[in-house]
């Protein structure tokens, strides 16, 4: 299969929103249609484009209740893309993520790079030295993103198994990815009323420590660390 045209896929906001929902869980068509502000015909078109490019796949399975099977979608692509565009540089790289990445420390040496090399050969040599350091960064990025992907999968599986609330999980997923969120952000993302989002945030706070200030929400890293320590002592 050819490499998907990822920039074409990500260049459309509706497709980005659909992928965001699919990273939280596999979704059936009507669920996805309710989460974006375009017609079901448009949603179908975007899903077909992404399936054609090999980003997602569809399958049918029975729902939790008696009734006809539903068509579900899931992401089947795992990669990090890095791109640079300047008046002097345009390049991008596709870093295929790994299920079991090798985690090792990486030393990046930037202080020794010559800012003002005196001649053409020195300039070429300096560029190559900088590129060598960049390759180290890309290897580290690939390992970190592979690790984050693995941890997010475990978080999702564990949360659904132990707590079982999909909306709470969606909020946790968003806050972990972006560092913080507002009630308004989450209301738009989940297509829920703000008061319903606020209630779900309070429920989530029972299981994952949050800092809630006004309409802003983020993980309480200090309490989370205390909880890990207390759990380890037990």
Q: What is the 3-state secondary structure (H, E, C) of the chain?
A: CCCCCHHHHHCCHHHHHHHHHHHHCCEEHHHHHHHCCCCHHHHHHHHHHHHHCCCEEEEEECCCCCCCCEEEEEECCCEEEEEEECCCCEEEEEEECCCCCCCCCCCCCCCCCCCCCCCHHHHHHHHHHHHHHHHHHHHHHHHHHHHHHHHHHHHHHHHHHHCCCHHHHHHHHHHHHHCEEEHHHHHHHHCCCHHHHHHHHHHHCCCCCEEEECCEEEECHHHHHHHHHHHHHC
Would the pLDDT of 232 be above 80? no
All CATH 1.10.10.10 domain ranges of the chain, comma separated, are 6-75, 165-233
Tell me the pLDDT tens digit for each residue of 155-214.
999 999 999 999 999 999 999 999 999 999 999 888 889 999 999 999 999 999 999 998
For domain 165-233, give the fold: Arc Repressor Mutant, subunit A (1.10.10)
Provide mean pLDDT across the span 59-80.
Answer: 82
Lowest-pLDDT range of 19-28, 63-72, 132-141, 143-152: 63-72
pLDDT band at 1 (very low <50, low <70, confident <90, very high): low
Query: What is the second-level CATH architecture of the domain 6-75?
Result: Orthogonal Bundle (1.10)
Would the pLDDT of 33 be above 80? yes
pLDDT band at 69 (very low <50, low <70, confident <90, very high): confident
Would the pLDDT of 63 be above 70? no
Provide the pLDDT for residue 227.
78
Does residue 167 contact residue 186 with C-beta atoms inside 8 Å?
no
Q: Can you tell me the distance from the alpha carbon of 131 to that of 85, in angstroms, rounded to the nearest whole number?
A: 16
CA-based Rg of the chain, rounded to a whole angstrom?
22
Tell me the pLDDT tens digit for each residue of 100-115.
888 999 999 999 999 9
Residue that has been written with the tokens 């299920």 in this structure: 99
Q: What is the mean pLDDT of the chain?
A: 91
Provide the pLDDT for residue 229.
60
Would the pLDDT of 66 be above 70? no
Q: Can you tell me the distance from the alpha carbon of 36 to that of 33, in angstroms, rounded to the nearest whole number?
A: 6
Would the pLDDT of 65 be above 60? no
Provide the pLDDT for residue 234.
39
Tell me the pLDDT tens digit for each residue of 119-165.
999 999 999 999 999 999 999 999 999 999 999 999 999 999 999 99
Would the pLDDT of 67 be above 90? no
């Amino acid at each position: 299969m050819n490499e998907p045209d990822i920039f074409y896929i990500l260049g459309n906001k509706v497709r980005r929103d659909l992928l965001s929902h699919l990273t939280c869980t596999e979704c059936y068509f009507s669920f996805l249609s309710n989460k974006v502000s375009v017609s079901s015909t448009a949603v179908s078109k975007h899903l077909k484009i992404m399936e054609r490019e090999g980003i997602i796949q569809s399958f049918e399975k029975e729902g939790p209740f008696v009734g006809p099977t539903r068509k579900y979608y899931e992401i089947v692509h795992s990669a990090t893309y890095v791109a640079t565009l300047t008046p002097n540089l345009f390049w991008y790289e596709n870093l295929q993520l790994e299920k079991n990445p090798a985690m090792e420390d990486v030393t990046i040496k930037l202080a020794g790079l010559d800012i003002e090399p005196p001649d053409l050969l020195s300039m070429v040599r300096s560029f190559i030295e900088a590129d060598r350091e960049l390759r180290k960064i890309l290897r580290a990025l690939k390992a970190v993103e592979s690790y984050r992907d693995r941890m997010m999968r475990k978080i999702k599986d564990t949360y659904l198994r132990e707590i079982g609330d999909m909306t709470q999980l969606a909020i946790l997923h968003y806050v972990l990815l972006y560092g913080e969120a507002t009630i308004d952000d989450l209301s738009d993302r989940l297509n829920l009323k703000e008061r319903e989002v606020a209630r779900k945030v309070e429920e989530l706070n029972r299981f994952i420590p949050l800092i809630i200030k006004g309409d802003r929400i983020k993980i309480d890293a200090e309490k989370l660390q205390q909880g890990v320590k207390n759990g380890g002592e037990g």
